[in-house]
Structure 1
C-alpha cells in the first residue's frame, strides 16, 4: 500500500511545487512556504490516516484517529488564524499608511501646460491605431498603458506584447513601444521600434517576471510596469519588498530594473533608485493604504461599531482606484478623494471629506483635510456629462489640481469611441463655476474667466492677468448653439485671435453682426481662443 501511495504523493508534491514556484512565481521565503504548505501537510495527514485505516486491516483505529485528529487540528488552527488575524492588525495597518495632515498651501500650483488632460482610454485608442503600422500586427497586443515623465513633459507609454503562446513562438522579439502625449491631444503619437526579448507576455525564460525570480528567489514582487529613461531606452521596473504581519502588510523596499533587450538587471533600494524612474510604489499599494488610513483611524472596534470620523476612497469605475497626478516638478503621486464611510446599500456621499496624495516614489501619504465639503470626483464627472448630455459624451477619470489657487477638478470628456472631445474644469467649491473647451488653452481660459467673475475667493496673485479693455470693429461672427445656451465667437479687426462669449451671460451678444463696433473686457492670457468677461455693442456704422 505504502509502496504505491508514496510515489504518487511525491509526484503530486513535485507538481505542486512547480505550480507554486515556476508557474505562480511564489517567493521562496519562510512565510510563503509556510502559508502554502501547512494546509497541504494537514490534509495529507488526514488522508493518510483515513486511507491506511480503510485499506490496511492491521492498522489500529486509535492510531488512525490520532493521525487524522492532529491533521484536523492543524488545519482548523490555520483557518482560524487566517480568518481572525486581520482583526488584530488595525493599528499596524494605520501606522503603515502613515498619513500626514496638510492644507492647500502644501499643494503647489501646477503649470497649465503640464496638467495631463488626455485620458488613458484615449491614449490606448490612438496606440491601437498606430500599432497597425507594424508588420504581422496580428501577432501582438498592447500592454499596460502608464503615464510617465519624459523630456520635461508627460506621456502615456504603452509596450507592445505578444498575443499568446504561438505568436511568441513565431516571433523573435516584441517590436517596441508607443508614446502618446498626456498633455496635448493633438500631438501625434510615436511608434518606437526596438526588439525586446524579456517581456511579461513572454514564455519560459523570456517571461520578464520569471527572469527576475530566477535571480531573486526570495523577494516579494508587487508589480511590473514599463518605463522609458531619458535616452529613450526601454526598461521593466519590478517593485519588490517583503511582508510583515505574516503576509498581511506589504512593505515596498525598492525596484529591480530589467533591460528587456539584454536581460540585464539592477537592484535598487528606494533611496538609490535612479531619478528617471517615475514610480516605485504601484497603484494597488496606494489603494490599500488609502483604505487603511480611512477606516482604521481609531482601531478595529470603531471600524465596525462606532464608525466615528471614518472615510472611504471614492470609487471611480476605472481600472485603478487611484489616478496619477503630478506636481510642478512633474513628480508622480497617486490621487484619490475620500467620502464618508457608508454601509452596504447606503447611497454614496456626494461631498468630499478630504483627498490624499500618495507619493509614487517615497510612499508618503498626504491628507488634505481642508477640502472637506467640496465636490467629490463622482459629482464632477456627473456635472460634465450633464453639460454635454446632448452630445452623449462620457467623462473620464477626473483629477484634482490647485489651479489659480483653487481646488479644481480636471475632467476629460470622450465620445462613445473613446475619442477625446472636450476638456472641462470644475471648481471643487462651487459646481456653478466651470469652464470647458476642445483644447486645453480654451478650457483654462474659460475657467479663468468664470473664476474671476463668479467666485468671491481670493485669487493667487500673478496667476490671473490684469483686465484689458478694447474697442474694435467686428470682422466675422459665428454662433454655436449648445444645450446650455448660444456661444458667440467673433473676430476683431487688428487682433489675430478668436474671442468668445456666452449668451447666458450677455444675451445681446447674439445680435452682433460684422461691422459692429464693440467694447470688450478680457484678461489676456495669450490664448488663441480668448474668453470675454464683458461686451457692449456700441454702434453699427452702416
Structure 2
C-alpha cells in the first residue's frame, strides 16, 4: 500500500517537474546537487503528510496543489536565474536593492535582498492559487444547477405510493428503536468478551440482515497507539434488532484487523484513501456492514465534484469502496455493481447534502435568494438521527430508505410540504407531495414533550406512519439522563393536532390499540360493543396502564379493549397485578365513545384464576 501513497505524492508534486527541469538547465553542478536534495526532502515530507493526514484526493484539490507547485516553482527558479545564476547577478542585486521599494522598506529598518524577493514571489504564487480557489468557491455557490440535475429524482404528486409504513391493524408495529437507546444497551453489553475495557463503541449503522432491520456497531480500540500495538485487532461487533424494543444486543465474535481505529497500513480509512484518487471520501469515517454470513466489511462512499470550478458533488457518478476487515482487500464499485449485502451505498452525509440541494436549488440559485420568487423552495426538517439530524432510516420491503420531511424555508410555517425518501442503495430520491395538513416532526416532538409528557422525558426519532389512513407521528420518549426507552407517543399529525388525539404507552402494539380507539372516538367510527350483561372469559393477551386511574387489556381472539377503573371503591389492590397469560372472567358494560376502551369491567364480577391468592 505504501506504493499507492508514493504515487499520490508524485502526482501532487508533479507541478514542480517543469520548473525543476528549468532549474537543472540554468544552474551549476553545486546548485544541481542541493536542488536535487531539496526535491528529495520535499518528497519525503509530502509523503509523510499524505500518509498520515489523508488529504482530499478529488481532482480540484489535486489541481490546486499542482498549480501551487507549478507557479511557485517557476517563481523560485526565475528569481534564482536573475539574482544568482546571472553573470551580472551582483550588479542586478545592487540595482534592485537601490530602487524606491527597497529604500522605503529600509526606512522601516527592513532590508529586502534577493531572498526577500524570493519569499515575496512565493507569497504571490500562493495568492494566485487562493484567487483561483475563490473563483471556484463563487462558481460552486452560484451554480448549483448541474449538481441538482445529477440527482436521480422520482417526483410524485401524492403520497399514495410512498415507502411509508402503512398500519392497518395492531399486529403491524414496525417502530424503529431510538439509536441513543440502542447505543446505551450496547455499551452496557461490552463485558460480553475478554479485555472489554480496552475497546469502545463509537458509531453504528442500520442495515438489513436476513430480511430484518438491524443496528450494527463495531468494537473499536480505546486508549491510543500502545493498546493497538498490544492487541493488534478488535474481537468483533454488536448487532441488535432495530424494531424489537426488548431485543438484547448480540456480540458477534469476528476478529477484525483492519478498522478505522487501527494504525498505519491497517487503518481502514487509510486503505480506502489509497484507492480514492480523483474522489472525496464522504463522511467522517467508514461504516461497518456485514454480509448474510456475518462477515464484516467497512464501506465508504466516494464522491467527485462536477468540475474544477464547480465543486458541488456529482450525485450520479460516485463510487463505493468496500474493505474486507479480515484480509484488508479493498474493492471500488460503481453504484450499479455494489455487492448485494451493501444496503447503504450512499452515506447519510451524501444524502443530506443531496436532499438539501434538491429542496433549495432545483429551480436555480437566484430563485432561492431574496431577489427570486422562492418558487418551491424547501428545506429538510431537523429531527432525524443521521446526516446532521436531518435523516431517519426506514425499512421498507427489504430496503433501507433515508426519510426526511420537507418544509418551508419560512420559519413561521410548521407544516409538511412533502417527503423525501432516498433509497440508500441506489441513491434515488423519491419525492412525494403532501396535500394534507401535517405537522413537522419538530412540532411533534415539542408537542409530545410539552403537552403530553408529564415525566419530562425527551422525545426523539419521530417516525411517520399511515395508521388506518391517518398520518401519524410515533415519537420515542427517552430518559434524559441515560437514554433508556420509557414511552411511545402516537400523535395524530393533523396540523398542530388541534384535535388533541394522541396515545401514550409502554410498547408499540398496546399504544397503537389505544390510539386507534381515540381516533375512532374523534371520528365517530367506534363500534358499540355487544358485551353488556354477559360474562366474558378468556386469556389476557396485552396489558397497558396509560395512567394511574385505569388499566386496559385485551383478550386473545377478542377485538374489544377492556378497562378497569383503579379509582373505583370496588377495585382490589390485587387486581393491578394482571398480566399477559392470565385467565380472567368478568361482566362488562359498554363504555362512552370518548373513552380509550370499548367496554368497562364490572369489578364486582372480575376474577383472575391465575392469581391463587385472590378470593
- Same fold by TM-score greater than 0.5: yes
Q: 1:179 aligns with which of 219, 229, 239?
A: 239
**Shift of residue 175, structure 1, vs aligned partner:** 0.9
Please state how far the C-alpha of 1:377 moved relative to its aligned partner.
0.5
Partner of 2:506: 438
Give yes or no for contact 2:448–2:475 (8 Å, CA) kept in 1. yes
Partner of 1:38: 67
Q: Find the aligned partners of 1:427 and 1:171 in 2 and give their Cα distance.
A: 52
TM-score by structure 2 length? 0.73
- Which position in structure 1 is the counterpart of 2:383? 316
Task: Kindly state the Cα deviation for residue 269 of structure 1 after the two structures are TM-superposed.
Answer: 2.5
SS in 1 for 2:339: coil
1:82 CA displacement: 2.6
**Contact conserved, 2:207 with 2:216, CA < 8 A, in 1?**
yes
Supply the distance in 1 between the matched residues of 2:563 and 2:550 (Cα, whole angstroms): 5
- Unaligned stretches of 5+ residues in structure 2: 1-29, 100-113, 573-584, 607-615
Q: Secondary structure at the match of 2:304?
A: strand
Say whether the 8 Å CA contact 1:117–1:440 is kept in structure 2.
no
Give the match for residue 159 of structure 2: 104
**Match for 1:359 among 417, 423, 431?**
423
CA contact (8 A) 2:238 2:251 kept: yes
Cα 1:231–1:513, aligned 2, differ >3 Å: closer, same or farther? same
Deviation per CA, 1:245-302: give whole Å up to 9, x if none: 2242243534232221122344433222233221111111111111111111322112
Deviations 1:43-88 (A, max 9, x none): 6767888899999864474995995697367335313313311244
Per the alignment, residue 8 of structure 2 pairs with: none
1:277 is matched with 342
> Which residue does the alignment assign to 1:227?
289
Gaps of 5+ in 1: 460-464, 524-530
Change (3 A) 1:386 1:474: farther
> Equivalent residue for 1:526?
none
> TM-score by structure 1 length?
0.82
Partner of 2:188: 129
**CA separation in 2, counterparts of 1:438 and 1:363?**
35
1:147 CA displacement: 1.3
> Residues 119 and 500 of structure 1: is their aligned pair in 2 closer, same or farther, counting only changes over 3 Å?
farther
Which residue number in structure 1 is paired with residue 221 of structure 2? 162
Task: Find the residue that maps to 2:150 and give its secondary structure.
Answer: helix
Pick closer, same or farther for the CA change 1:382–1:260 going to 2, 3 Å.
same
Give the alignment partner of residue 530 of structure 2, picking from 459, 469, 472: 469
Q: For 1:118, which of 166, 173, 177 is the aligned residue?
A: 177
Q: Which moved more, 1:378-387 or 1:323-332?
A: 323-332
Q: Does 1:302 pair with 2:363?
A: no
Greater mean deviation of Cα atoms: 389-398 or 56-65: 56-65
Q: Are the counterparts in 2 of residues 45 and 71 from structure 1 also a CA contact under 8 Å?
A: no
Q: 1:538 to 1:134 in 2, by over 3 A?
A: closer
Shift of 1:142: 0.5
Q: Which residue of 1 aligns with 2:467?
A: 403
* Cα deviation code 1:3-57 (max 9, x no counterpart): 878855753454234323x223346564331133434555676788889999986
2:305 aligns with: 243
Offset of 1:322 from its aligned partner?
3.1
Which has the larger displacement, 8-17 or 369-378? 8-17
Q: Which residue of 1 aligns with 2:253?
A: 193
Determine which structure has the larger strand proportion and give its number: 1
Taking a change above 3 Å as real, the CA distance of residues 46 and 445 of structure 1, as seen in their structure-2 partners, is farther
Matching of residue 413 in structure 1 with residue 477 in structure 2 = yes
| Residues 1:447 and 2:447 are matched in the alignment | no
Q: Equivalent residue of 1:470, what SS?
A: coil
Over 3 Å counting, the alpha-carbon distance change for 1:113 and 1:155 in structure 2 is: farther
Deviation track 1:369-395 (CA, whole Å, cap 9, x = no partner) reads 225631001011111112454312111
Seen in structure 2, the aligned counterparts of structure 1 residues 328 and 74 have a Cα distance that, compared at 3 Å, is closer
Closer, same or farther: CA 177–480 of 1 in aligned 2, 3 Å: closer
Counterpart CA distance in 2 for 1:44 and 1:394 is 59
Per the alignment, do residues 376 and 512 of structure 1 end up closer, same or farther by CA in structure 2, a change over 3 Å counting? farther
* Secondary structure class of the residue paired with 1:135: coil
SS in 1 for 2:189: helix
Q: Which residue of 2 aligns with 1:259?
A: 324
Determine if contact 1:86/1:248 at 8 Å carries over to the other structure.
yes
For residues 491 and 162 of structure 1, do their structure 2 counterparts lie closer, same or farther at Cα, with a shift above 3 Å needed?
Answer: closer
Change over 3 Å in CA distance of 1:522–1:235 after alignment to 2: farther
Judging changes above 3 Å, is the alpha-carbon distance between structure 1 residues 392 and 327 closer, same or farther for their aligned structure 2 residues? same
Cα distance in 2, alignment partners of residues 501 and 511 from structure 1 = 15
User: Which of the numbers 120, 143, 146 marks the counterpart of 1:89?
Assistant: 143
1:151 matched to 2:205? no
**Separation in 2, partners of 1:248, 1:492:** 56
Pair member with larger Rg: 2
